[in-house]
Structure 1
Amino acid sequence: MKTLLNIIWLLLSGLWLAIGYVIAGIVCCLLVVTIPWGIASFRIASYALWPFGRTTVVRRDAGTGSLLGNVVWIVVAGIWLALAHITTGIALCLTIIGIPLGIANFKLVPVSLTPLGREIVPTDAPFATR
């Protein structure tokens, strides 16, 4: 079932959202100071491309640097990516088939706002990093 949902997700919204994250990552990597945000953006792009069967967990070893980095990320790219997830989620929820995909989009909003200090893990081991 995860594979079928991922294929439908890829066709309806995953590709476009992943492209948005890749563009944000490229922009962040062009500026040398923001390379950590670029790496986080590429990591989230892979998650946005194929989300079913994986989840995110907050890393306990993330400190003040992640907090400050997330504040900068929200201002630079996070708000726009979160709006893309909300818009796509609403559009997908207009159809019965798209409701699970829309809910998955809404679950990606916190990740798009605060990507630093999170880790992507398989759903069968969400507590592996805690």
Structure 2
Amino acid sequence: MGFLSLLLNILWIITGGVWMALGWVLAGVLMAITIIGLPWSLSAFKIANYTLFPFGRVAVDRGMVHGADEAPGAFSFIGNLLWLILAGWWLALGHVITAVGLAITIIGLPFAWAHLKLAGLSLWPMGKAIIPADTYAFISGR
């Protein structure tokens, strides 16, 4: 992680990123309480970590990293649909509200943008992998 990513992550935590990460942890714990919710809880805990330190990392489809064998399939689609109904839209709403509050100031714009990306991830998290941004640049050729 570069200096700029580290600085942005520290500012992110100070300006409220920790609260949304705790929201993800809460969603993961609630899903883990029901045994059938364990696949969602695992994804929620991974994304909670990503929500706590979003700068310098990106969320991509698992198939992009691990090949076509690991690409999201029908079970991921059904899982994401259930997630969307049960918890995803609540988390997305929290990210959007936080983004609007941060976008009021110029300094908060990078954080607002990160919250909007996380809002999209909140709606459809299964089948995603969190990788370093430089690895993504290498894989995608950017």
| TM-score, normalization by structure 1 | 0.96
Distance 2:20 2:101 in 1: 14
Within the alignment, does 1:47 sit opposite 2:50 as a pair? Answer: yes
> SS at the partner of 1:119?
strand
For 2:75, the aligned partner's letter is G
For 1:27, the aligned partner's letter is L
Number of the residue aligned with 2:134: 124
Cα RMSD over matched residues?
1.2
Number of the residue aligned with 1:89: 99
Distance 1:122 1:16 in 2: 23
Distance 1:67 1:101 in 2: 29
| Identical residues among aligned pairs (%) | 43
Number of the residue aligned with 1:18: 21
Within 5 A, what are the aligned runs for 1:1-80? 1-60=4-63, 61-80=71-90
For 2:125, the aligned partner's letter is P
| TM-score, normalization by structure 2 | 0.88
Structure with higher Rg: it is: 2
Distance 1:128 1:46 in 2: 22
Detail structure 1 runs of 4+ shifted over 2 Å in the superposition: none
Q: How many residues align?
A: 129
Distance 2:62 2:28 in 1: 21
Structure 1: any 5+ residue segments left out of the alignment? none
Identify which range, 119-128 or 102-111, moves more after superposition.
119-128
Cα-to-partner distance string for 1:44-89 (whole Å, 9 max, x where unaligned): 0000000000001112221100000000000000000000000000
| Deviation, structure 1 residue 14 | 1.2
Distance 1:98 1:37 in 2: 30
Within the alignment, does 1:98 sit opposite 2:108 as a pair? Answer: yes
Distance 1:107 1:6 in 2: 15
